[in-house]
Amino acid sequence: MKIGVIGGGLGGLSAALSLAASEHQVTIFEAESEFGGKAGNLEAAGYRFDTGPSLLTLPHVFDRLFNLTGVSREDYFSILPLDPITNYWFSDGTRYKSRPVPYFTDSLVDVFDVAKEEAERYLRYSRKIYDLTHEIFLESSLQQGKTFVSQAALRAYPQILSIDPLRSMHRANRDFFRDPRVVQFLDRFATYNGSNPYRAPATLNNIIWVEHGLGGWAVLGGIYQIVKAMLRRARELGIHLVSSCKIIDIRTDSHRRVRGLVDCQNTVHDFDAVVSDVDVSTLYHTILKNDLHKEYRRYQSLPSSSSGVVFFWGVNRDFPDLGLHNIFFSENYELEFQQIHSEGILPHDPTIYVNITSKVNPEDAPQGSENWFVLVNAPPHGTQNWNSEVNELRTRVLRKLSKTLGTTLSPHIEYESVLSPQDIMERTGSWRGALYGISSNSLSSAFMRHGNVSKQYRGLYLTGGSVHPGGGMPLVVLSGMIAAQQLLRRES
Positions touching ligand FAD (CB under 6 A) are 6-12, 29-32, 37-39, 52-55, 246-247, 277-278, 287, 308, 310, 375, 424, 428-430, 435-436, 464-465, 471-473, 476
Q: Is 284 helix (H, G, I), strand (E, B) or coil?
A: helix
CA atoms within 13 A on the CB side of 406: 5
Please, what is the minimum distance in Å from the beta carbon of residue 272 to ligand FAD?
A: 19
Select from 348, 310, 350, 309 the least CA-distant residue to 328: 350
∠ CA 407-411-414 to the nearest 5 degrees? 125
Please, what is the minimum distance in Å from the beta carbon of residue 191 to ligand FAD?
A: 9
Please, what is the minimum distance in Å from the beta carbon of residue 1 to ligand FAD?
A: 20
Is the four-CA dihedral 231, 232, 238, 243 of positive or negative sign?
Answer: positive
Nearer to ligand FAD, 122 or 436 (CB): 436
Please, what is the minimum distance in Å from the beta carbon of residue 33 to ligand FAD?
A: 10
Nearer to ligand FAD, 105 or 196 (CB): 196
Quick check: 242 and 31 in contact, CB under 8 A?
no
Quick check: 182 and 151 in contact, CB under 8 A?
no
Q: Which stretches within 304-420 are classed as H helix?
A: 333-341, 386-405
Please, what is the minimum distance in Å from the beta carbon of residue 13 to ligand FAD?
A: 7
Please, what is the minimum distance in Å from the beta carbon of residue 330 to ligand FAD?
A: 18
Nearer to ligand FAD, 229 or 375 (CB): 375
Q: How many CB atoms lie within 10 A of CB 235?
A: 11
Nearer to ligand FAD, 177 or 260 (CB): 260
Nearer to ligand FAD, 314 or 464 (CB): 464
Whole-angstrom distance, CA of residue 79 vs CA of residue 219 = 4
Nearer to ligand FAD, 215 or 471 (CB): 471
Contact partners, residue 199, CB within 8 Å, separation at least 6: 168, 341, 441, 442
Amino acid at 347: P
Q: Is 81 helix (H, G, I), strand (E, B) or coil?
A: strand
- Exposure string of 52-67, with b = 16+ CB inside 10 Å and e = fewer, is bbbbbbbbebbebbbe
Helix, strand and coil content of the chain, in percent to the nearest 5, comes to: 40, 20, 40
Reduce the secondary structure of 295-333 to three states and give it as a string: HHHHHHCCCECCEEEEEEEEECCCCCCCCCEEEECCCCH
Please, what is the minimum distance in Å from the beta carbon of residue 242 to ligand FAD?
A: 9
Amino acid at 16: A
Nearer to ligand FAD, 129 or 375 (CB): 375
Nearer to ligand FAD, 105 or 307 (CB): 307
CB burial of residue 492 (10 Å; 0-12, 13-18, 19+) = exposed
Helices 169-176/180-187 angle, 10° precision: 150
Nearer to ligand FAD, 281 or 339 (CB): 281
Nearer to ligand FAD, 105 or 470 (CB): 470
Please, what is the minimum distance in Å from the beta carbon of residue 361 to ligand FAD?
A: 16
Please, what is the minimum distance in Å from the beta carbon of residue 297 to ligand FAD?
A: 21
Please, what is the minimum distance in Å from the beta carbon of residue 292 to ligand FAD?
A: 20
